[in-house]
Amino acid sequence: MEIYEHLQRMEAEGDRIRVGLVGCGQMGSGLVHVTNQTAGMQTVVISDVDVDRPLVTLEALGVPRSGICVTGKVGEAEDALQDGKCVVTEDALLLPKLESLDAVVEATGLTEVGAAVAWNSILHSKHVIMLNVETDVTVGPLLHRVAQKAGCVYTAASGDEPGVCKMLYNFAGTMGFEVVCLGKGKNNVIDFDATPDSCREEAESKGMNPKMLAAFKDGSKTMVELAAMSNATGLVPDVPGMHGVKVDVPDLNKVFIPKEDGGILNHRGCVDYSTGKVAPGVFAIVTTPDPRIVVDMKFLSMGDGPYYTFYRPYHLCNVETTVSIAEAVIYGESTIVSRQMVSEVATIAKRDLKAGEVAGEIGSPDIFGRTYTYAEASARKAIPLGLATGGQATRDIAKGDMLTEENFAPNPEMFVYKLRRMQDAQLAMDA
């Protein structure tokens, strides 16, 4: 049965997928609204460090204050859910403990919170949908393996660019095409000096967190997204940080192809991005050796070949997340997972860091990310971007230099650090 029909039937029968959400910012709040209008689905528990945000979100949907229980206790939360109320809590780790929930969506963008929520949800056999790609590129392979053993789904979300890129990748592969390059549009040139202060006015005009906007502008988000695509498909960054050239949609299949055919790539099988008129879309450049299919593609107005562009002109972020929720709960299927570490987002100093200084979060004035192959990053002993927050410089680090094990120490008390150590040990045994 198709997902839509399944959800319609659930709604008609008075049954709904009960969703818990961690992080009620711009993306999370929007997701609550989407699940509210989706048949067979409802967000019934919301966690945020600022409980006013989920309260405002629920009240905007017409939920009366009397229909909301604010609590940090499992028993009270379960009783409220049984009474048909929604639950709001400051405690993100309350959600994995609630038997009434079918799935947990993590939408904080913070690796420490994301790792803890995902890990504990899996231990309680809860499906986990990550609107937190930062965590996935740090410890995604471990979380995927543990979820498989626990009999539940761990997945990044449809709507985020890695998720919709993976759909294009699967689409192409199902028809037997070779994917030469998989990528996304970025709507601005990278500004490595972007900070929350420099982005504040624009962020506030868009209803965004200034730190989040800084993470987009300094390229960290793009690096994270492309690393996730890489780790899910095996495609690699052609050069550190990718090319990121300005190319519009009609020319994508003329540029993101091998050099011997007039493009910029050193080889086939890459991930990359364009700052031309591509965003908010994603693309796959594909090819086929079969001359008959080349004839068919020309007949179908796809061009003369041998390279073709599959282009999706949009990604709907949180609005599409319901698809991943439904696929996980109904079919036990993931949208996109990091099965291996093909790429790593290394941490680069955004400013001069003095010995003893503590690094801030992604998007802070301290650090940004750049994607390398996992092999190169490992050889250089790079500090993964997802482990840098809260760590300390052990030597002076010049602006633009990579944070490495020789000049920087992550905080060993961070939960995400402990998971990463477990993952590194497993990957070493697999090698």
343-430 in CATH: which number?
3.90.1210.10
Question: Alpha carbon 20 to chain centroid distance?
Answer: 18
Region 128-147: what's the mean pLDDT?
A: 98
Residue 280, phi then psi, degrees to nearest 5: -90, 25
Region 377-403: what's the mean pLDDT?
A: 98
Per domain, the residue ranges of the chain are: 3-160+318-331, 162-314, 343-430
pLDDT of 279 over the 80 cut: yes
The alpha carbon torsion through 315, 17, 145, 384 (nearest 10 deg) reads 40
Q: Could you tell me the sign of the dihedral formed by the alpha carbons of 417, 419, 425, 426, in that order?
A: negative
For the chain, the straight-line distance linking the first and the last C-alpha, in angstroms and rounded, comes to 40
Tens digit of each residue's pLDDT (9 = 90 or more) over 210-227: 999 999 999 999 999 999
Instruction: Grade residue 431 by pLDDT with cuts at 50, 70 and 90.
Output: confident
pLDDT of 390 over the 70 cut: yes
Residues 9 and 2 sit within 8 Å (Cβ to Cβ): no
pLDDT of 267 over the 70 cut: yes
Average pLDDT over the chain, rounded to whole? 97
pLDDT of 136 over the 80 cut: yes
Class of domain 3-160+318-331: alpha beta
Distance CA 325, CA 340 (A): 23
pLDDT of residue 1: 59
pLDDT of 188 over the 90 cut: no
Helix (H) or strand (E) holding 202: helix 196-205
Region 180-209: what's the mean pLDDT?
A: 93
Distance CA 160, CA 132 (A): 9
Token representation of residue 42: 């409802």
Region 288-312: what's the mean pLDDT?
A: 97
Distance CA 193, CA 269 (A): 31
Helix (H) or strand (E) holding 325: helix 321-326
Token representation of residue 288: 């086929």
Among 40, 36, 44, 34, smallest CA distance to 1 is for 40
Distance CA 94, CA 113 (A): 13
Angle, to 10 degrees, between the axis of helix 210-217 and the axis of helix 196-205? 110
pLDDT of residue 319: 97
Region 138-152: what's the mean pLDDT?
A: 97
Residues 60 and 49 sit within 8 Å (Cβ to Cβ): no
Say if strands 392-393 and 408-409 run parallel, antiparallel, or are unpaired. Answer: antiparallel
